[in-house]
Amino acid sequence: MAQYVDGFVIPIKRKNVKAYKKLASWGCKVWMKHGALSYYETIMDDFPNHGAGFKKMCKLKNGETAVFAFVTYKSKAHRNQVNKKVMKEMSATECEMKMPFDMKRFAMAGCKVIVRAK
């Protein structure tokens, strides 16, 4: 059962979603190979006007949407072990990966699970 989650919010140009999906599919294989419990990459397509909303929070421009992604782990220590292996594999990868989004607008956080359902 997942006790720790890494969450990501990434503004991205709609025209770059296909390139992002290719990168995300590769990331999924790498994280799962190294022990992540689950891996999700989603594209936002519905932006209700509740509170500030993701659209406003991400400062989305015309032609943009956002990725909401998360990876689950047994614990923070497990996350650290998995990510160490993932980063090692990524740095050993010969091919240069061009990010299809602006890394300055990328947001990530490690999250302790406080409520869950089975």
pLDDT digits (tens, 9 = 90+) for 70-110: 999 999 999 999 999 999 988 877 555 678 999 899 999 99
Query: For residue range 5-51, what is the model confidence (pLDDT) as tens digits?
Result: 999 999 999 999 999 999 999 999 999 999 999 999 999 988 777 66
Domain limits for position 36: 4-66+75-112
- The two tokens of residue 16 are 């770059």
Distance (Å, whole) CA 53 – CA 72: 24
pTM listed for this prediction: 0.89
| CATH number of residue 54's parent domain | 3.30.70.100
Domain presence at residue 88: yes
Distance (Å, whole) CA 110 – CA 7: 6
Domain presence at residue 33: yes
Number of domains in the chain: 1
Domain presence at residue 99: yes
Domain presence at residue 55: yes
Domain presence at residue 118: no
